[in-house]
Chain A
Amino acid sequence: MNNWVAAPLLIPLFTAVILIFLHNKLMLQRWISLFSTLLNTAVAIGLLLRVHEDGIQTLNMSGWKPPYGIVLVADMFAVLLVLTASVVSACCLAYSFRGIDEQRERHYFYSLVHFMLAGVNGSFLTGDLFNLFVCFELMLMSSYALIVLGGTKRQFRETLHYILINVLSSTLFVASIAYLYGATGTLNMAHLSLRIAELGQSGPITAVAALLLVVFSVKAGLFLFFWLPGSYGAPPAAVSALFGALLTKVGMYALIRTFTLIFYHEAVVTHTLIGIMAVATIVLGGFGAVSQTNVNRILGYNVIASIGLISLALAVSNEHALTGAVFYLVHDMIAKALLFLLAGVLVAETGTERINRMGGVLLHSPLLAWMFLIASLSVVGLPPLSGFPGKLLIIQGSLESGSYIIAAAGVLLTLLLLYSLIKIFILGFWGDARKERNPEWKQPRKLLASSAPLMLIIVLLGLFAEPVLPYIQQASGALSDPSVYIQAVFKE
C-alpha cells in the first residue's frame, strides 16, 4: 500500500476544481497550473525511484482488497508514462501562457487541461477495467470542451465528428466490459488475467478481445484514424500538442496493457490482427503525411504513423520489441508535443498553415528552424536523438521473431516520415518569404523557451539512453511476464 500512487490523479483533479473559482485571475491561474504540473512531475519522479527499488506499488481504494475494490497499480510502465505526461503538460501549459488568447484562458482553459490530465494519469494508473472507462471518459469530456473552446466554424465541424466517434467507441467499451463481466465475473485486470488463464481464452473471449481492440484502436488512432488529422488541427497549437502527445498514447497504453496482461493466450488471432492493422496504419499514415501540404495535417498523420510503429512492437510482443515500444512511446509523447508546439509558432509566424505559401522562415527565425529540424530528425529516428533506440529495438525484436514484413514496414515508415517532415523544412524554412510578414510580429522567444525543455529531453534521452534503459527494461519485463503484475496486486 502506498498512498502516493493516487497523487498523480488527485493533484490535477484538485487543481482543476480550484482553478474553476479563479477563472478571472489570469496570472494566479497560470502560476497555480504550472506549479501543479511541476509538483506532479516531482511526485512522478519519487514514484519512479520507489518502483525501481521496491517493485510495483499498489493502492487499494477505501481499503477494499482486490478483486473487490478498485485498485491503483503503479508499475514501471505506468509511472514512466505519468512522468512523461507531467513533463509534457508542464511545457504545454508554459507555452499556452503566450500561445492561447485571453478569452480562452478566462473560459476555464486551465481547468479543462487539468481535468484532462487527471483522466490521463488515472487511465495509466488504474488496475480496474471499468475504472479505466471512467478515466477515459473524464479525459474525453475535457477534450471535447478543449477542442471546441474558442468556437470557430472549423472547430464546431471537427468537434461534432470527434464526439460522435468517441461516444460510439465508449459505448462499445461498456458493451465489452459487460461481456467480460458476464464471462469471468470480475473486472479487476489482474484477476481477469488469472480467470482467463484458468478458463482458457475461448472463442467468445477472443471475440470480446477483438471488440476491445476496436475500441482502443479508435482512441489510439490505430487503423481507425480517419477522424484524427482534422480534429487535431482545429484547436490552437498548445491544445493540439497536448492531444497529440497524450490522448492517442492513452489508447495505445490501454492496448498494450490489455493485450500483454489479459488477452495474451490467442496471439495467433489477436496479435496477428494487431500486426495487420499496424502495417496498414503505417502505410496509410505515412502516405497521408507525404500527400498533405497543411502543417497540422502532416503532423496529425505523423501521430498516426508512430502509433502504427508502436503497435508493430505489440504485434511481435517479444522482449526486445516491448522494450522498444516503451522507449518509443516515451520518446513519441515528448517529440510529438514539441513538433506541434513548434508548428504553432511556425503558423503564427507565417500566418498560414499551408507549407507551399510559407518560405524563408530560416532567415528571420533561425532558432525556430533549427529546433524544428532537430525535432523532425528525432521523430524520424536519427541516431544521436531519442527516436533511434526505440525504433532499433522494435525492428530488432521483429527480426528476431522472423516477422520480416513488420520490420520492413518499420523501415518504410522511417523514409515516409523523413520525407514528410523534410518537406515542411524545405518549403517552409528555405527559400524566400512568399508573403509580407506582419510587421508587428515579435520574435516568439517565450514560446520557444517553453518548448526548449522538451528538445533538451529529446537530445539527452538519445545521448544517455544507456542509463535510462534499466528503467525501460523493468517496464517491459513486467509487460512480458504478467505474473509480476498479478502478484503485486494480490500480495497483501
Chain B
Amino acid sequence: MEVIAAVVVGILFAVGIYLILTQDLLRIVLGTSLMTHAVHLLLMAMAGLKGGAAPLLDRGKEEFADPLPQALILTSIVINFGITAFFLVLSYRAYQKLDTTDMDQLRSESSRHRGRSR
C-alpha cells in the first residue's frame, strides 16, 4: 500500500513540477495545487497506511488509526484552499492589468522595468 502511495506521490510531484515550469500562469497555479495534494498524500503515507478503529478510548478495540496526520492534512487543505483561491484571483487581476498570463513576457517586462530604473 505504501509503495503505491509513494508512486502516486512521485507522479503528482512530477506533474506539478512540470506544470510549474511551463509559461502559462494558470498552469502554474494548478501545478502548485497538485504539488500540495502530493504533499498531503505523502503526509498520509509517512504516518503509515494502516486500518483500525477511531481513536476513542472506551470502545475496547486494540488497533487504532493515527488521527494526527489527518488533522494536519485537514489544516493544510484549508490553508492550501485559501492560497489557491487568492492566487487564482490574483492571476485574473494580473491578466486584466498586464494583458498577459505568459510568465516570459511578465519577466521580460519586469526586467525591462528594472533596466529602466537602473
Contact = CB atoms under 8 A, between A and B. Distances in A.
Contacts of A126: none
Interface of A: 130, 133-134, 137, 141, 144-145, 148, 151, 153-154, 156-160, 163-164, 167-168, 170-171, 174-175, 177-179, 181-182, 187, 230, 292-294, 297, 353-354
The majority secondary structure among interface residues of chain B is: helix
Contacts of A144: 83, 86, 90
B14 interface: no
16 contacts: A133-B76, A144-B83, A154-B110, A156-B90, A157-B98, A160-B94, A163-B86, A164-B20, A167-B87, A168-B20, A170-B83, A171-B35, A174-B40, A175-B39, A178-B42, A181-B72
A134 B73 CA distance: 12
Contacts of A297: 117
A153 B97 contact: yes
A167 B84 CA distance: 9
Contacts of B87: 163, 167
B32 A171 contact: yes
Nearest to B28: A164
Contact of A141 (B42, B82, B91, B106): B82
Contact of B43 (A178, A293, A294): A178
A292 B76 CA distance: 39
Nearest to B17: A168
Contacts of A141: 79, 82-83, 86
B118 A354 contact: yes
B83 A181 contact: no
Given A137-B79, A230-B114, A174 B43 contact: yes
Given A171-B36, A174-B76, A294-B118, A160 B91 contact: yes
B105 to A, nearest CB: 10
Interface footprint category on B: 35 or more
A354 B117 contact: yes
A151 B32 contact: no
Contacts of B94: 156-157, 159-160
B46 interface: yes
A230 B110 contact: yes
A412 to B, nearest CB: 24
A187 B82 CA distance: 24
Given A130-B75, A354-B118, A178 B46 contact: yes
Contact of A178 (B32, B35, B39, B118): B39
B93 A151 contact: yes
B10 interface: no
Contacts of B114: 230
Interface string B67-78: 011001001100
B109 interface: yes
B97 to A, nearest CB: 5
Nearest to B48: A182
Contacts of B48: 182
A-B pairs, 10 with minimum CB distance: A182-B46, A178-B43, A156-B94, A178-B46, A174-B39, A157-B110, A167-B32, A178-B42, A137-B79, A175-B39
Given A175-B42, A182-B47, A230-B110, A151 B83 contact: no
Contacts of B39: 171, 174-175, 178
A175 to B, nearest CB: 5
Contacts of A163: 83, 86-87, 90
A118 to B, nearest CB: 15
- Of the listed residues A163, A177, A178, the one surrounded by the most CB atoms of chain B closer than 10 A to its CB is A178
Nearest to B34: A171
A293 B115 CA distance: 11
B97 A156 contact: yes
Nearest to A296: B117
Nearest to A168: B32
A235 to B, nearest CB: 14
Nearest to B72: A130
A281 to B, nearest CB: 21
B59 interface: no
A181 B28 CA distance: 29
B100 to A, nearest CB: 10
A173 B109 CA distance: 31
Contacts of A134: 75, 79
A187 B68 CA distance: 10
